[in-house]
Amino acid sequence: MMESKQFFIHNIHDFVGQTVIVKGWVYNLRSSGSLIFLQLRDGTGFVQTTVIKSEVPKTVFDKAKKITLETSVIIRGIIRADKRSPSGFELTVKDLIIVSLSEDYPIGKKEHGPDFLLTHRHLWLRSRKQWAIQRIRNVIIYSIYSHLEKEGFIKIDAPILTPNACEGTTTLFPVPYLPAWKDPTKPPSMRVSLPDGEIKKEEPYAFLSQSGQLYIEAAIFSHGKVFDFGPTFRAEKSKTRRHLTEFWMMDAEMAFSEHKDNMKAQEKLIIAVVQQVLDKCAKELEIIGRDVKPLEKILKGGFPVITHKEAIEIVRKEGIAIGKRDDFGAESETILSNKFDKPLFIEKYPKEVKAFYMKEDPDDTSRVLNDDLIAPEGYGEIIGGSQREDSYERLLQRMKELNYSIADYEWYLDLRKYGSVPHSGYGIGLERLVAWICKLDHLRESIPFPRMMERFNP
Amino acid sequence: MMESKQFFIHNIHDFVGQTVIVKGWVYNLRSSGSLIFLQLRDGTGFVQTTVIKSEVPKTVFDKAKKITLETSVIIRGIIRADKRSPSGFELTVKDLIIVSLSEDYPIGKKEHGPDFLLTHRHLWLRSRKQWAIQRIRNVIIYSIYSHLEKEGFIKIDAPILTPNACEGTTTLFPVPYLPAWKDPTKPPSMRVSLPDGEIKKEEPYAFLSQSGQLYIEAAIFSHGKVFDFGPTFRAEKSKTRRHLTEFWMMDAEMAFSEHKDNMKAQEKLIIAVVQQVLDKCAKELEIIGRDVKPLEKILKGGFPVITHKEAIEIVRKEGIAIGKRDDFGAESETILSNKFDKPLFIEKYPKEVKAFYMKEDPDDTSRVLNDDLIAPEGYGEIIGGSQREDSYERLLQRMKELNYSIADYEWYLDLRKYGSVPHSGYGIGLERLVAWICKLDHLRESIPFPRMMERFNP
């Protein structure tokens, strides 16, 4: 059987009329006495294969009859163009090998609840929709790398085990660090900030990174334009469809770059990513039923920019009770997002609702030179960015106002002491980006193995 | 001043004779009365700039006199070809702006101990050598992505917070998971395996991932060829130059792939990476003084393959006391590595020194179909790979022999129940790869912010 050429389904159009071998899994099947239809998945795509009783030896037809859902097989057959088939092609089986019979595959055609599916995530990933989502996620990841490479960004991997909080202390994951296991005395390199009340203050803990930003800021002095792209952690005690405890973020940081440049860089990245997905994932977008028109609309750029102040007025007019200096909740973001058919920049938030490192707006020192980028179609924030405070004195003063432990941030303050420059950056949440581009109802399908408040397995 | 064109140093050859602006930091300086030499770094490279007293206004020369190490500046000047300069070019200053004066930069010309440098890692990254290493690391990362994209691999991000140990339980980092903070009862999704004696058994803990392999194995059934690339963690209680507690790994996994295919895939990747570094990092390799001949030698491939049995004989002949079925220590790896001028595959280790998931060698069931790839020049293991056990019964039996908690691995066993296929994969340690390619003495310089037994800051 092995004398024929192996092919992969995504190249099927190059093999019409040829006898080929394909290796994969049967994800669906039906038979009508003299015909057995095996829907095959090989990783690169899906194709219908047909076993015709009158055209194969009895042993082959008998093997085909034994095949069950998710059985792994090697099939030899002829590829034919077939307009009735959704893929436009079909494979007529000549011979087959059962690699491993799959008995009682637990995910069937019936509806399963989310808890069942999440417990079987290792199998659920095989479904057509989950296959398509992960393929799109993959193209998004590659497109971010290729865009940043073209723009001259250097990858600087920020550490995960850190002594500092980047985004507030209530969502920190503490990790008892090594010397704590052997020796209760703390070496000088183990000074830590502890979240209130959650863990014992006597033991040395590291924290799982909430963002690599502070670290990559250090690297702009060496490399100019840098980024990180890795997992980040927030011990979110809420179970909404927008929350994961572990998610991937790309942070970019640019020396000699100001607020407006920063927004331009963000727009350019989003356009590059969406362009790549549209170019490479037509099949996947069709499988998940994604209308591509709203995505095509954003390719021309010109994302609208409104101030926080203007945005507050808009949501108030829609009847939302929100203070003039409040941050936006999910409901407000949805309202704002639905007013525009492109991603929306909201800039210049009140400093008290944003992180300590953002630069004051010189035109209104109660606000900062930041931006949140709100995805269209109600998907909320996908990017948060800002120009960073580059004055040592103002940064120190801000940290004191907020009762930060200055000793823990001395290294970060050093960046303003030794050759400080205007600089800006942003962080993009991969799962929120995937959820928007795929138009998913819940973040949990955007990541291969989601971690949430009450789940960290399989 | 701003009317001139901004340029970046890596493009300097395109700007000879032109008046341009460059923004960066002064990393070295000297003066001789009427001349001030400012060595400038802009992220993309290094160039000498010269301020000539007789050719600039007094105010400009006075500003130049104030400049200290690591002061940030914007300089306008003319680019000249200059054979005496190491870069081949020089910039004659016409005007300059001091962006921020740097006072008493702590890293000077004198020698600093490793502890001092690690404590100042956020500044140490600015040194020429550290700049070059991180640039090479960056090219290695991009080259891995582009090679895998070309080969059709889909990125599947494995989770960091996990309930299982992949590589033995002695080096696990436990993380108290959320419900433990509020509620001592464990929901069913919180079953955990606990390392012995280190932490309290009553509390639910997740563990930081030691490898994403088990998870990406699940995804081959959906995507065929997959990889992850992220941080992994080992609570190593040793302080050798080869150990970090946090390091980056790329794991690749391939369906319908056997032991020999697996080694071929590894060789192909290593060649692609080294080729890219040689093509793109000539300047950086020169800065760190890396002799490129040993790297060029490996480009033709044909990496030697010896068995564990043969390798034992070689090191025994060199006087190493090692048991016939032992794993190799650092000393043995160095001996083996020095016998060959290409990376060396050692295959078919005794099963008792390798992980539970490796497939038995059908020719000797006391051994497994694995390979370790040993870098040349004494750098030890950079890749570990194996064909995976695809028989449900044999895998279950092996886990029982090793006293694994079967319930925790049911999801992993499912992969052998539903459509099992022969499959193989490997994991490559990014820092060890960087250390070898850059010929570093210690892993700590291979990663931006190293974490070791007694250090997790800055």
Return the HEC string of A50-64: EEEHHHCCHHHHHHH
Is B263's pLDDT higher than 90? yes
Residue B421 and residue A72: Cβ atoms within 8 Å? yes
Residue B158 and residue A415: Cβ atoms within 8 Å? no
Instruction: For residue A443, give how far its alpha carbon lies from the nearest alpha carbon of chain B (Å).
Output: 15
Instruction: Collapse the DSSP code of A95 into the 3-class scheme (helix H, G, I; strand E, B; otherwise coil) and give the result.
Output: strand
What per-residue confidence (pLDDT) applies to B439? 97
Q: By CA distance, what is B215's nearest residue in A?
A: A122
* DSSP bridge partners of A22: A75
| A128-172+210-446 CATH, one of 3.40.50.720, 3.30.56.10, 3.90.105.10, 3.30.930.10 | 3.30.930.10
Residue B457 and residue A215: Cβ atoms within 8 Å? no
Phi-psi region of A48 (alpha: psi -120 to 50; beta: other; left: phi over 0): beta
Reported as a pLDDT band with limits 50, 70 and 90, residue B235 is confident
Residue B25 and residue A419: Cβ atoms within 8 Å? yes
Domain ranges of chain A: 9-100, 128-172+210-446
Give the count of beta carbons closer than 10 Å to the beta carbon of residue A316. 14
* DSSP bridge partners of B252: B227, B426
> Which residues does chain B have within 8 Å of residue A223's beta carbon, measured at their own beta carbons?
43, 131, 134-135
Residue A454 and residue B190: Cβ atoms within 8 Å? yes
User: Which residue, among A100, A124, A222, A409, would best test binding to B if mutated, counting the most B CBs under 10 Å from its CB?
Assistant: A222
User: How much of chain A is in helix, strand and coil states, percent to nearest 5?
Assistant: 35, 25, 40
Query: What is the distance between the terminal CA atoms of chain B, rounded to a whole angstrom?
Result: 38
Q: What distance in Å separates the CA atoms of residue A260 and residue A265, rounded to the nearest whole number?
A: 9
Residue B100 and residue A421: Cβ atoms within 8 Å? yes
Q: By CA distance, what is A101's nearest residue in B?
A: B419
> Which residues does chain B have within 8 Å of residue A122's beta carbon, measured at their own beta carbons?
215, 218, 411-412, 414-415
Amino acid at B418: Y
Nearest Cβ partner for A451 among B135, B161, B176: B161
Q: What distance in Å separates the CA atoms of residue A232 and residue A247, rounded to the nearest whole number?
A: 6
Q: Identify the DSSP state of A308.
A: H
Is B69's pLDDT higher than 80? yes
Over range B206-233, report the average pLDDT: 96
Look at residues A130, A143, A95 and name the one whose alpha carbon lies nearest to residue A278.
Answer: A143
Give the count of beta carbons closer than 10 Å to the beta carbon of residue A299. 13
What per-residue confidence (pLDDT) applies to B189? 37
What per-residue confidence (pLDDT) applies to B185? 44
What per-residue confidence (pLDDT) applies to B12? 94
Q: Assess whether the region B9-100 and the region B128-172+210-446 belong to the same CATH fold.
A: no
| 3-class DSSP string for chain B | CCCCEECCHHHHHHHCCCEEEEEEEEEEEEECCCEEEEEEECCCCEEEEEEEHHHCCHHHHHHHHHCCCCCEEEEEEEEEECCCCCCCEEEEEEEEEEEECCCCCCCCCCCCCHHHHHHCHHHHCCCHHHHHHHHHHHHHHHHHHHHHHHCCCEECCCCCEECCCCCCCCCCCEEECCHHHHCCCCCHHHCCCCCCCCCCCCCCEEEECCCCHHHHHHHHHHHCEEEEEEEEECCCCCCCCCCCCEEEEEEEEEECCCHHHHHHHHHHHHHHHHHHHHHHCHHHHHHCCCCCHHHHHHHHCCCCEEEHHHHHHHHHHCCCCCCCCCCCCHHHHHHHHHCCCCCEEEECCEHHHCCCCECEECCEEEEECEEEEEECCCCEEEEEEEEECCCHHHHHHHHHHCCCCHHHHHHHHHHHHCCCCCEEEEEEEHHHHHHHHHCCCCHHHCCCCCCECCECCC
Chain-wide mean pLDDT for chain A? 91
Which residues of chain A are modeled with pLDDT < 70? 1-2, 165-170, 178-204
Amino acid at B271: I
Give the count of beta carbons closer than 10 Å to the beta carbon of residue A13. 11
What per-residue confidence (pLDDT) applies to A407? 86
Question: Helices B259-280 and B128-150, interaxial angle, to 10°?
Answer: 130
What per-residue confidence (pLDDT) applies to A101? 98
Q: Are the C-beta atoms of residues A311 and A346 closer than 8 Å to each other?
A: yes
Q: What ipTM was assigned to the predicted interfaces of this complex?
A: 0.94
Q: What distance in Å separates the CA atoms of residue B383 and residue B278, rounded to the nearest whole number?
A: 20
Neighbour order of strands in the sheet with A174-176 = A161-162, A205-208, A174-176
Look at residues A223, A220, A228 and name the one whose alpha carbon lies nearest to residue A155.
Answer: A228
Ranges A422-426, B20-24, B328-332, B346-350: which has the least confidence: B328-332
Q: By CA distance, what is A198's nearest residue in B?
A: B181
Question: Helices B259-280 and B430-438, interaxial angle, to 10°?
Answer: 50
Tokens at B15, concatenated: 């700007």
- Considering the domain delimited by B9-100, tell me its CATH architecture: Beta Barrel (2.40)
Q: What distance in Å separates the CA atoms of residue B140 and residue B127, rounded to the nearest whole number?
A: 20
Residue B390 and residue A100: Cβ atoms within 8 Å? yes
Q: What distance in Å separates the CA atoms of residue A382 and residue A379, rounded to the nearest whole number?
A: 8
Instruction: Collapse the DSSP code of A303 into the 3-class scheme (helix H, G, I; strand E, B; otherwise coil) and give the result.
Output: coil
Q: Where are the beta strands (DSSP E) in A101-243?
A: 154-155, 161-162, 174-176, 205-208, 225-233
Give the count of beta carbons closer than 10 Å to the beta carbon of residue B164. 22
B20 CB contacts (<8 Å, ≥6 apart)?
Answer: B4, B5, B6, B7, B76, B77, B78, B79, B91
> Which residues does chain A have within 8 Å of residue B135's beta carbon, measured at their own beta carbons?
154, 223
What per-residue confidence (pLDDT) applies to B317? 97
Tokens at A407, concatenated: 């000793």
Instruction: For residue A73, give how far its alpha carbon lies from the nearest alpha carbon of chain B (Å).
Output: 8
Q: Are the C-beta atoms of residues B76 and B15 closer than 8 Å to each other?
A: no
Over range B200-228, report the average pLDDT: 87
Most confident by average pLDDT, B186-195, B345-354, B449-458: B345-354
Q: What distance in Å separates the CA atoms of residue A97 and residue A120, rounded to the nearest whole number?
A: 27
Query: What is the distance between the terminal CA atoms of chain A, rounded to a whole angstrom?
Result: 38
Q: What distance in Å separates the CA atoms of residue B198 and residue B175, rounded to the nearest whole number?
A: 12
% of chain B exceeding 70 in pLDDT: 92
Tokens at B369, concatenated: 């179909």
What per-residue confidence (pLDDT) applies to B354? 96
Across the A/B interface, how many CB contacts are shorter than 8 Å?
281
Q: What distance in Å separates the CA atoms of residue A191 and residue B11, rounded to the nearest whole number?
A: 43
Q: Is 0.90 topped by the overall pTM?
A: yes
Residue B43 and residue A454: Cβ atoms within 8 Å? no
Residue B256 and residue A453: Cβ atoms within 8 Å? no
Q: What distance in Å separates the CA atoms of residue B353 and residue B150, rounded to the nearest whole number?
A: 34
